[in-house]
Structure 1
Amino acid sequence: MTLLNSRSMPRLRAADHDLAERVVVCIPARDERATLPLLIGDLTRQRSCPNMRVIVLDDDSSDGTAAAARAAAAGDPRIHVVTSKAAPPSGWTGKAAACAELARMADQADPRASIVVFVDADVRLAPDAVAAASRMLRELDAALLCPWPEQLTGSVAERLVQPLLGWSWMSTLPVSVANSTLLPSMAVACGQFMVFDAGSYRAIGGHSCVAASATEDLDLARALRRRGLSSAVASGAGFVSCRMYDSTADLRSGYSRWLWNEFGGSVGSAAATLALSTLYLVPPIAALTATGTTRRLGCAGYLAGTVSRMVARRREAGPQFGVDDVVDAALHPVSILAFSALVAESHIRRHRGSLTWKSRTVPLP
């Protein structure tokens, strides 16, 4: 499956002419002083997108995010920085509330905009990223396109866990089929970089339809599909990258925020972790401890998992794929153990009511 997807999934490509449509890029930012200026710098250098506006919402930051954003914009008239001190409405996650407010401001700033883009503050964009993603949205005739970013890593924990995000769907879901069907169960989405047809986004009520969702990106894609509107995923290799977390503590907190909801509840989580353990832990154990045919089957199973992980990472990272990625793929069974531990921790924190993100309590349904 991973090999098939690596060959067949759509990929962003550089624009060969200017995009005629009007685009509004929306950036929710809370305590992103270190990363936001880099993204704003990327946006000031965007090519082939002459009708682009950028709105940054400083969501009650305490670290000088707004001042850093204005300094990075350096008076660029396309970039508007707004500060909000309002707490999220009851039952809303902070990100959903910020994105809903950004969408409202986008409609006011440019009522004729036909494409609205949501970008996380820690994302990095190549100069053609916005134009290339907007053009592919139209080529695929989709209501939502999610160009999958390269997941940058630093710490050992990040190297073990982050590549699993792309690998998880590349190894289980035929992307060409998923992109062409409206089945909500086959939707793939990534909230780091989401490109919407503006009319379709409004048709489902925007982020208000996922106000309390712990996985708002995926639920937005599913909401579109339930309305007969398509969503698609594409490789953003060479165009989009993101380092989600810069420490083990942040990684644990970030995954705990939503993993409890990923498999539909406790039973689904138990079934998923059992299946992953059977598929990717039993083979290397058999390869090390068994003999004869069982050992050979164990070696084959371990090799299949390792190759699958390498192929998925190669498609995600593009030319940045290197020796470290091969080493990480060889440690795939350890990654599965780490992921299973994160799933368990997420359920424990949810049971205790201690789910938080960026100093805000995560609302529970």
Structure 2
Amino acid sequence: MSAIAWIAVGSLTAWGWLLLGQGFFWRTDQRLPGRGGRARAEYESLRRPKELGQDDLARQWPSVAVVVPARDEAAVLPESLPSLLAQVYPGEAEIFLVDDGSSDGTGALARELSARYGGLPLTVSSPGEPEPGWTGKLWAVRHGIALARSSARVPDFLLLTDADIAHEPDSLRELVVAAESHDLDLVSQMARLRVASVWEKLVVPAFVYFFAQLYPFRWINRPGGRTAAAAGGCVLLRTETAVRARVPDSFHQAVIDDVSLAKAVRRGGGRIWLGLAERVDSVRPYPGLADLWRMVSRSAYAQLRHSPLLLVGTVAGLAVIYLAPPAALCAGVFGGDLPAGLLGFAAWAVMTGTYIPILRYYRLSLWQAPVLPLTASLYLLMTVDSAVQHYRGRGAAWKGRTYSRPEAAPDR
């Protein structure tokens, strides 16, 4: 057989492993546990004795502090913050929005929205510039957690949610029910990202697909498993677990803070869960390729621990797994290499089949599935660009801040 046919053999073998041996990462059935099921009914019946009044009922439910780090988020806050203010939760809950040095009036807008919509009580505060060695977001999260713990009643749970995330009115309630009824220390949902523009439709579903490939949700949700990850846009965390895991001090320089958080909780013996959201959405637009490029490239090389060897391996792996199948098929069709063409077609077919579930989740056309190699080539270029920017001293740049050598997800 030709060299390209042998490469196609390697690609098909890799896809056989990814299909069956990588935690069924391509499936989209990991959804919030207990929602609408027996666990929820049993839990809520225990929390709602008939003789209790409304105030007593509130004390029966765990208290929650919602911590929202925000830096220059005035454009998205009118869509996201009202959804938090409007949460229908039987227990005590309050919101702490931490204005991380915004220059667009984020803090003032948050107060205005709270006055206009009412709902859960809101505290807006600013911690000042982060200390050396801290990323801005984690510095803001640290400040928000400290505010929550200094309140009259230390909250039982912390909901860490980004400023661009909109929640359905029962989102907080469902998260708490899932954590309590399944004895979980961390419950995280990957918010449904926006897919309105052409570039969003091409790039965003693949972002979730690749994340699940790196961190299969089934492996994460398995009790006693070693794989750990979370989605930073929506994380419900027990306060005592956060204290025990030293959140976020133990990973204060991490750019990929959600994975770092999950690792810290798992190292401390906590039980974690991650799945796809049904009622939690990101409202942040990424209308152009440049916007999506910055989102991916700012942390891609950090994910590889700034290792040139891992970068080379990743580029080679992406090329063999995603780019070789269409190349082999073309060699078969246009070059008369029948073995390469058949092997390339088979690998591409498996690849396409694994991409269909995430397209269905995003309610996109299934005809987009065969285009995954093109999307993968964009991610390959974004990863290389991330390394280039790192060595130019512009790595992990975000909203006016640059972290020259941030950590990805420290092991200790």
TM over 0.5: yes
Contact 2:87/2:120 (<8 A) preserved: no
1:74 aligns with 2:115: yes
Sequence identity percentage: 24
The 3 A distance-change label for structure 1 pair 352 and 39 is same
Q: What secondary structure sits across from 2:128 in the alignment?
A: coil
Match of 1:93 in 2: 135
CA separation in 1, counterparts of 2:317 and 2:153? 48
Contact 2:69/2:100 (<8 A) preserved: yes
Q: Greater shift after overlay, 14-23 or 292-301?
A: 14-23
1:165 aligns with 2:207: yes
Count of residue pairs brought into register by the alignment: 357
1:6 aligns with 2:27: yes
Amino acid at match of 2:291: D
Equivalent residue for 2:349, pick from 294, 303, 321: 303
Match of 2:163 in 1: 121
CA separation in 1, counterparts of 2:26 and 2:202? 22
Amino acid at match of 1:34: A
Unaligned segments of structure 1, at least 5 residues: none
What's the CA shift string for 1:61-108, capped at 9, x where partnerless? 111112221221126363324242611110100001000000001112
Contact 2:26/2:357 (<8 A) preserved: no
CA separation in 2, counterparts of 1:60 and 1:174? 35
Contact 1:260/1:266 (<8 A) preserved: no
CA separation in 1, counterparts of 2:28 and 2:109? 41
CA separation in 1, counterparts of 2:398 and 2:26? 33
Match of 2:266 in 1: 225
CA separation in 1, counterparts of 2:121 and 2:341? 60
For residue 140 of structure 1, report the CA deviation from its aligned partner: 3.3
Q: Greater shift after overlay, 354-363 or 6-15?
A: 6-15
CA separation in 1, counterparts of 2:385 and 2:152? 43
Match of 2:195 in 1: 153
What's the CA shift string for 1:309-341, capped at 9, x where partnerless? 1213434x3xxx132xx2432210011111011
The TM-score normalised by the length of structure 1 is 0.89
Unaligned segments of structure 2, at least 5 residues: 1-18, 48-59, 407-412
Q: What secondary structure sits across from 2:313 in the alignment?
A: helix
Contact 1:284/1:302 (<8 A) preserved: yes
For residue 174 of structure 1, report the CA deviation from its aligned partner: 4.8
Match of 1:329 in 2: 369
Structure 1 or 2, whichever has the larger Rg, is: 2
The 3 A distance-change label for structure 1 pair 4 and 28 is closer
1:211 aligns with 2:249: no
Amino acid at match of 1:11: L
Match of 1:294 in 2: 340
**Alpha-carbon RMSD:** 2.4
Match of 1:353 in 2: 393
Q: What secondary structure sits across from 1:295 in the alignment?
A: helix
Match of 2:80 in 1: 39
Amino acid at match of 1:79: P
Q: Greater shift after overlay, 67-76 or 129-138?
A: 67-76
CA separation in 2, counterparts of 1:255 and 1:198? 30
For residue 243 of structure 1, report the CA deviation from its aligned partner: 4.5
Match of 2:221 in 1: 179
The 3 A distance-change label for structure 1 pair 216 and 4 is closer
The 3 A distance-change label for structure 1 pair 200 and 168 is same
For residue 278 of structure 1, report the CA deviation from its aligned partner: 0.8
Q: What secondary structure sits across from 2:150 in the alignment?
A: helix
Amino acid at match of 1:144: L
CA separation in 1, counterparts of 2:364 and 2:293? 26
Amino acid at match of 1:107: R
Q: What secondary structure sits across from 1:42 in the alignment?
A: helix
1:271 aligns with 2:317: no
